[in-house]
């Protein structure tokens, strides 16, 4: 289908818009070209059959169970320290290239004895990747903050060096035991001075029990570490209730809520990370048009637009903003305010927020 001039202009505007990404899984954000290259290497070594893996990677439409089978495959491709470092570097570079000015990237610290990998060494490899980004300035620690901020992104298309704040969230995988989940929270505490600022609960939503992770999530709360929880990807009534009662700082997805739960969510004012393409592709929402974004947006519920797994779902944050505009008819000003609003839900401290507010104010003066 031919792209109209208006669509092209709007897509470019969405790329230039400064954006905040709060829900992106590291291993779900890997470029297909990198996955194919890694699969080729492992195929040559006889570890996997390249042609089989290639077909799976290139397949576009995936159910939720298929996604989780694919993650297991990704983890085979990405389990060595150098590869983890490489993908962390690439993923940050890709987000910065489309004017994401603040990125919270989440990843599950992994133990892999065969590779000599511990949760800590996995995370060290991620941090190494973030520090090795060359084409853009990555601000990983608050001490890097300067008051003489140059604009981090520029809607006039100026070619200033881009700058991106990056923070890390450690994910607890729903397959983990209570003790492994507690290890992840303790690791987050240990790595506080290395850009780790929060805990996420994710993984296959039909696996595991809320009671298994609750001690770790409560431990995070006691330590003052913010949490974000994947909630309602499937209609598990008891669990959705428990998650809403836990009152995390943010919730991801919230697809399958019933009337009472919607009411409870709306009165809680817990910010929601909205992942349009992901929800439609995995069946959490029946279509873009019928996605719960519209209801929450009209109710003025705090929202941030996110990608979830930009590699897996072949999307980008700019594309997600474009879909909001084209599906729900938001104007550029409304879209801008939506992007700007996400600054208030970041887990980083007030200094970073102040700096991000300034970025959006400058951009508003240029574009609105």
> Where on the chain is the footprint of ligand 6MZ (CB under 6 A)?
25-28, 67, 71, 107-108, 171, 173, 202-203, 230, 233, 278, 282, 308-309
**What is the closest distance, in whole angstroms, from the C-beta atom of residue 205 to ligand 6MZ in the complex?**
6
State which residue, 57 or 67, has the beta carbon closest to ligand 6MZ: 67
**What is the closest distance, in whole angstroms, from the C-beta atom of residue 233 to ligand 6MZ in the complex?**
6
Given its phi and psi angles, is residue 308 left (phi above 0), alpha (psi -120 to 50 degrees) or beta? left
Catalytic residue among 98, 104, 233, 239: 233
State which residue, 18 or 271, has the beta carbon closest to ligand 6MZ: 271
- CA distances from residue 293 to 13, 230, 305, 307, 312 in whole angstroms, order as listed: 21, 16, 9, 14, 21
Residue 107, exposed/middle/buried by CB under 10 A (0-12, 13-18, 19+)?
A: buried
DSSP string, 207-251: SS-HHHHHHHHHHHHHHT--EEEEE-SS--HHHHHHHHHH--SEE
Give the Cα separation of 58 and 110 in Å (integer): 26
Element housing 344 (H / E): none
Phi first, then psi: give them for residue 47, nearest 5 degrees: -75, -35
Q: For the chain, what is the radius of gyration of the CA atoms?
A: 20
Give the Cα separation of 52 and 39 in Å (integer): 10
**What is the closest distance, in whole angstroms, from the C-beta atom of residue 307 to ligand 6MZ in the complex?**
10
Task: Give the pair of three-digit tokens for residue 116.
Answer: 């000599």
State which residue, 122 or 360, has the beta carbon closest to ligand 6MZ: 122
**What is the closest distance, in whole angstroms, from the C-beta atom of residue 331 to ligand 6MZ in the complex?**
30
State which residue, 27 or 153, has the beta carbon closest to ligand 6MZ: 27
Specify whether 66 is catalytic. no
Nearest Cα residue to 91 out of 43, 27, 168:
27
State which residue, 43 or 283, has the beta carbon closest to ligand 6MZ: 283
**What is the closest distance, in whole angstroms, from the C-beta atom of residue 318 to ligand 6MZ in the complex?**
20
Which active-site residues does the annotation give? 233
């Amino acid at each position: 289908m031919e792209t109209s001039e208006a669509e092209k202009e709007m897509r470019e505007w969405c790329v230039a818009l400064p954006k905040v990404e709060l829900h992106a899984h590291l291993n779900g954000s890997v470029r297909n070209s990198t996955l194919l290259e890694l699969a080729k290497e492992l195929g040559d070594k006889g570890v996997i059959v390249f042609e089989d893996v290639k077909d799976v990677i290139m397949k576009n439409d995936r159910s939720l169970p298929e996604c989780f089978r694919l993650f297991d495959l990704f983890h085979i491709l990405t389990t060595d320290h150098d590869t983890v470092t490489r993908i962390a570097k690439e993923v940050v570079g890709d987000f910065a290239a489309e004017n994401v000015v603040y990125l919270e990237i989440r990843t599950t610290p992994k133990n892999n004895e065969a590779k000599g990998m511990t949760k800590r060494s996995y995370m060290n490899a991620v941090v190494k990747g973030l520090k090795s980004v060359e084409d853009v300035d990555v601000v990983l620690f608050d001490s890097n903050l300067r008051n003489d901020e140059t604009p981090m992104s520029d809607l006039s298309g100026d070619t200033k060096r881009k700058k991106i704040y990056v923070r890390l969230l450690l994910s607890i995988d729903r397959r983990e035991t209570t003790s492994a989940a507690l290890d992840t929270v303790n690791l987050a505490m240990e790595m506080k001075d290395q850009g780790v600022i929060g805990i996420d609960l994710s993984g296959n939503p039909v696996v595991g029990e809320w009671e298994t992770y609750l001690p770790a999530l409560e431990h995070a709360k006691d330590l003052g570490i913010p949490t974000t929880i994947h909630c309602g990807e499937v209609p598990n009534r008891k669990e959705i209730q428990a998650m809403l009662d836990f009152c995390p700082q943010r919730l991801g997805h919230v697809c399958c809520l019933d009337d009472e739960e919607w009411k409870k969510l709306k009165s809680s004012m817990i910010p929601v990370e909205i992942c349009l393409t992901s929800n439609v592709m995995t069946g959490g929402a029946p279509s873009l048009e019928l996605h719960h974004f519209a209801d929450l947006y009209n109710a003025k519920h705090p929202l941030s637009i996110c990608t979830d797994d930009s590699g897996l779902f072949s999307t980008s944050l700019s594309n997600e903003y474009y879909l909001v505009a084209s599906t729900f008819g938001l104007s550029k000003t409304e879209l801008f305010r939506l992007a700007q609003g996400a600054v208030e839900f970041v887990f980083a401290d007030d200094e970073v927020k102040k700096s991000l507010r300034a970025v959006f104010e400058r951009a508003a003066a240029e574009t609105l």
